Amino acid sequence: MKFTDGYWQLLPGVTELRPRQVDEVVAGDDTLTVYASTAKIEHRGDTLNRPLVTVSFHSPMDGVVGVTIEHFRGGLERGPRFGLRREVADVKITTPQLNGAPLATFRSGPLEARVATDGDWSVEFVADGRTLTSSTARSVGVLTDAEGRHFVREQLTTGVGEHLYGLGERFGAFVKNGQTVDIWNADGGTASDQAYKNVPFYLSDAGYGVFVDQPERVSFEIGTEVVSRTQFSVEGQSLTYYVVAGPTPKDVLRRFTALTGRPARVPDWSYGLWLSTSFTTDYDEATVTHFVDGMAERGLPLSVFHFDCFWMRQFHWSDFVWDPATFPDPEGMLARLKAKGLRICVWINPYVAQRSALFDEGKERGYLVTEADGTVWQWNMWQAGMALVDFTNPDAVAWYQDKLRVLLDQGVDCFKTDFGERIPTDVVWHDGSDPQRMHNYYTHLYNAAVFELLEAERGEGEAVLFARSATAGGQQFPVHWGGDCESTFVSMAESLRGGLSLALSGFGYWSHDIGGFEGTPDAAVFKRWLAFGLLSSHSRLHGSSSYRVPWAFDEEAVEVTRLFTRLKLSLMPYLSQVGRRAHTEGLPVMRPMVLEFPDDRGAASVDTQYMLGEHLLVAPVFSAEGDVDVYVPEGTWTSWLTGEQVVGPRWVRERHGFDSVPLYVRPGTVLPVGAVDDRPDYVHADGVTLHLVELEDGHRSVTRVAAGSGEDDALFTVERTGVRVRVEAVGAPGAWAVQPRGGVRVEHRGDGVVEIDL
């Protein structure tokens, strides 16, 4: 929120305390505490009636410096707090007594905070001899507004030409400079400044990130309070934030996800095409079977079938009981679907309607969120008499999981964990949590409860969600999708912006409703969205009031679905390894251009395309006519679909039919392509072809391809010397081949060496 009227004056009724003079610096074993008076102290009498601001520095791991700004410390410590992963950091502390300069320093690995102990308040965050950002004389504030509410604020400098990104899944402008953002989960669709997934973290292309360690509402003024600074503030008496060092955006994400949690490894089958009943459409087992058989008859590979809300009886959500009028034999139906090679997903949410049998059970056992007088909190939005499961109560978590376990025993494989944003703040939580902090954090407990059940029942690496809401740390429970978008090209583009922002907020996997959710897309929108959706991390056909089977649009839509589904499945040797890096390093599958090309000024604001992993550039087409502008970074890029080449850096205007999309291979790529294109879960290394694209002389790389169950990989070492390329395979389970661009394909079986001339 804003506190000033212009630069010099405070808003009416606002008062402010700022650190003006450092009174004392105290160094602990791994902390540095600075006591600063809020006025210049000339003599002892000036200390009377004079508030102090306390600023302390600490580090949870190398390259991350935490800062806590405090006024009064006597408040109750009420949760929740983000569950941060802490390591032993290499901390070095100096004070003026030790360094002989008016400077106190706190270093963690490559990142150092330098506190001026003489003159105006100043903290510089420095890495590799370069100042990343600073807290200035007018940055820190302890404020009271006209209503008597207390706030703590920090303002960190933003440099010339610096761009900021992230803050969760935000559907507006990709570059966040000039925006006001409130971190407050809301069910607002994709067409507003509200967001389902709010993350109080921003990433700078100047080589750092900032994470505000506050689960409650955090207000960001990104160049909108002071144009040269990013302000963040919270209500209360203290504020904690972390500066995360780079130097590259990838390094920042690695550190940030090490701190807040890396995404879990997802099963290969989840990368295949998901088909839904849609939301309010009429369906029963006959409808579902017609859809599934229709996909098979048309040669459209299908991996997951999803039952949306009305698999349960109306007014009973969520009681987890199949509607007997439409699904009288759920166990038999699921067995019949699974015999066709499908996995099953069902829709759930954390709400309990009053008509549900679970309402009385949850009320009696104390598993539902209550008001201060013990009354169960209820309203009529979404479901009649809706209540809310209290996931701060371990017994309520076990109760909820037991209900879901019945579905798993029936044959369900995964859950779409919808909602979780409309969380009241006038309630009492079982563990005494602060309702303001629980509003955003609730979704974390909800998704964790479901994901942990799936891991326990299905095994690590087999659990997967389709989740809508999240906050910091929620990336640990993949996959997340973009929520309720309209069926238009404009909404398709805003969905992509949301996914790119989420990727720079630590989330590794992301999806969206192909064709849009609200309304019915025309055939052109649907076909263009197919290419985008099937070249995303995860791919789902889903809508609101109309079906999304391709033949509901036209026959060309069927052909486009077949083409891009089979293309994606053939890329599984590549995509599964990209997904593994999301799990091990925190790098997203779908990557904004700035993440791969941080030194390319032309890539800084590109938000209409992305890198699928490190090596493939995808530019969705947002027009019926097929016109699209593509930004091509430096080097010779090769179209995967046509073989044509473009030399960058430059913008290229192209026109594509519905059966095409700009899909470019980065120069210097060894792209593994599978021998199977009708399912995602196959032995990727068996029959794999290594496509060699624009390898420079001296190139050396190791390509990993899954060779069986578990973590087994085949390793292919590729080296180019002059015109000769040498490929050595270790751990290859069967046949494999090498295919130079425009050259002769060479096959081999098992371990060994292949040498070819380009």
Give the catalytic positions in this structure: 418, 421, 484
Who's near 755: CB < 8 A, 6+ residues apart?
724, 725, 726, 727
**Euclidean distance between CA atoms 69 and 240, whole angstroms:** 6
Tokens representing 367? 């598993």
Name residue, tokens 């954390």: 350
Tokens representing 235? 């209500």
Who's near 159: CB < 8 A, 6+ residues apart?
133, 206
The amino acid that residue 421 corresponds to is E
> What string of H, E and C letters represents the secondary structure of 482-499?
CCCCECCHHHHHHHHHHH
How many other CB atoms are found less than 10 A from the CB of residue 575? 24
Q: 301 and 568 in contact (C-beta within 8 Å)?
A: no
**Euclidean distance between CA atoms 610 and 512, whole angstroms:** 15
Name residue, tokens 């991390």: 537
Which own/partner contact pairs does 407-413 have at CB distance under 8 Å and 24+ positions apart? Answer: 407/320, 407/346, 408/453, 408/454, 408/457, 408/458, 410/330, 410/331, 410/334, 411/331, 411/334, 411/335, 411/337, 411/338, 411/344, 412/334, 412/344, 412/345, 412/346, 413/304, 413/343, 413/344, 413/345, 413/458
Say which DSSP state 311 is in.
G
Q: In 572-666, which residue ranges form alpha helices assigned H by DSSP?
A: 572-585, 593-596
Paired with 133 in beta bridges are: 125
Who's near 459: CB < 8 A, 6+ residues apart?
none
Residue-wise burial string across 483-511, b where 16 or more C-beta atoms lie within 10 A, e elsewhere: bbbbbbbebbbbbbbbbbbbbbbbbbbbb
User: What value, to the nearest 5°, has the Cα angle with vertex 435 and ends 429 and 441?
Assistant: 90
- Centroid of chain to Cα 334: 31
User: What value, to the nearest 5°, has the Cα angle with vertex 62 and ends 60 and 68?
Assistant: 40
Say which DSSP state 467 is in.
B
CA distances from 216 to 84, 206, 351, 392 (A): 16, 27, 21, 16
Paired with 744 in beta bridges are: none
Closest CA to 484 of 443, 516, 440: 516
**Euclidean distance between CA atoms 297 and 562, whole angstroms:** 11
Tokens representing 652? 């290229």
